[in-house]
Chains A and B, each alone.
Chain A
Amino acid sequence: MLETVKLSKSFKGKKVVDEINIYLDAGESVGLLGPNGAGKSTTISMISSLIRPTSGDIKLDGKSTIKDPSEIRKVLGVVPQEIALYEELTAYENLKFFGQTYQVKKDILEGRIQEVLEMVGLKERQKELIKTFSGGMKRRINIAAALLHQPKILILDEPTVGIDPQSRNHILETVRELNKTSGTTVLYTSHYMEEVEQLCKRVYIMDRGKIIASGSKEELLSILSTEDTIQVQLSNRSESLIDTIKSFSNVFQLDETNVGLRIISKKNSNLLSKLVLASEKEGIQIVNYQVEIPSLEDVFLHLTGKTLRD
């Protein structure tokens, strides 16, 4: 349905998006994951025709949208990262305004406004000014405004930044429902791994302007199929014990966390017995030993050497 071909963008000679290829099938829910500054928002701005790519192409049903973006604009609903609403207007007035600008027919606009308000759970508060809303409520109206013209593709740029858990759940549920019941194609960007894991069938991981991995959750996790992530809690911290563990042939990485040690080792390397022997020698007890089920966060860490919130 929608694809980018070697899409790139440079600002003052610096490449912020570097030849990325993304595709979205109709009715799919796809995540675009990456830390702040990875180039997600720039990618979205290019896809939604707000900025022109330096090179590459964006195709909607096989047809380039760069020269004439009118077709993609018709089918696109974009939820920007910022609260793109008039604070001095009520929720209803904002939706009416955006509905009118999207040329939703007069006789159906009122119905659509009530539908989207119901969807985001703010029907009862529609007569209140946006400036009196909490951050979470504003973000929900921000989403509602993008749904008025019933877009086929919904692009959400970090729609849950800085909001309370209740509003966050509501937003995730709304997006899931839209994808499930209306068949809306969703491109969801976030730096919250768990949101993307919950919502999206397929994920693109982006870092420093490049797609560094992509696929279904299972496919991405299989990247870590040769590794175990082990959390170890010790009775005392010992520098010599840490050095000993690092010297084990099957240990790839060792990080100190606030609860102990995080060890990435070769899968099924029987690390426990070696660890018990080494700690006994140092007179240190192993309080806790846990082999973690890998998450997308671990995949990201593995690929970039840093966490998503870095």
Chain B
Amino acid sequence: MAAKTLIIDGKQVSAENHTTILQAATDNGIAIPTLCHLEGVYDVGACRLCIVEVKGTAKLLPACTTRIYEGMEVTTDSERLRKYRRMTLELLFAERNHICAVCVANGHCELQALAYGLGMDHVRYDYCNPAWAVDASHRFMGMDHNRCILCTRCVRVCWHIEGAGTKNVAGRGTKSRIISDLNEPWGDSTTCTSCGKCVLACPTGALFHKGDTAGESVRDRSKLGFIVNAREKQQWTV
């Protein structure tokens, strides 16, 4: 396959024809922030965090879906891009509930990591505080719509890796939400194979394994009594 040479952030790099800017940058050790991108499924260009400047084009282009060409000059980091990316994150944090301290994903959340990385230390917009439900009807997994950023990674892995086609998007605008089958409780889904790939794909705490949430981490004090009882009374049954 033919190779193309291009310049990313002043660095001359080469990449195979038909690769995306994101791929070419990643291969050459240049990090571009992403959120809806997920290795293994196709890209949708929805989160707009990977937007880059391309010389000769007035528009900002998403790195994940824009193909490289010979002689392309790409800027992945500038004051303007950083500002837009920070604002995008601010908009997300204001849209639903993204209070890290009480989230299952705290500490291993891509949204949180991006906010740290881009220096988004406060949100200047009014919080919308919508009242979204939590779907805990599935035996092993749960969906907290309050944490969802609608990146549609779960939908894409469900359709294109697992092939189950359970997850979908319903509604529009800020009222969009991820649904199971034809908007049924996840636990009632007849197509879900309980493979758990959606949880693996989720960048935030919207999809989680049951038992992972703070509220579920109950301490079993009876174990202590069992041990003390066994030691003192030599009784090994409860």
A binds B: no
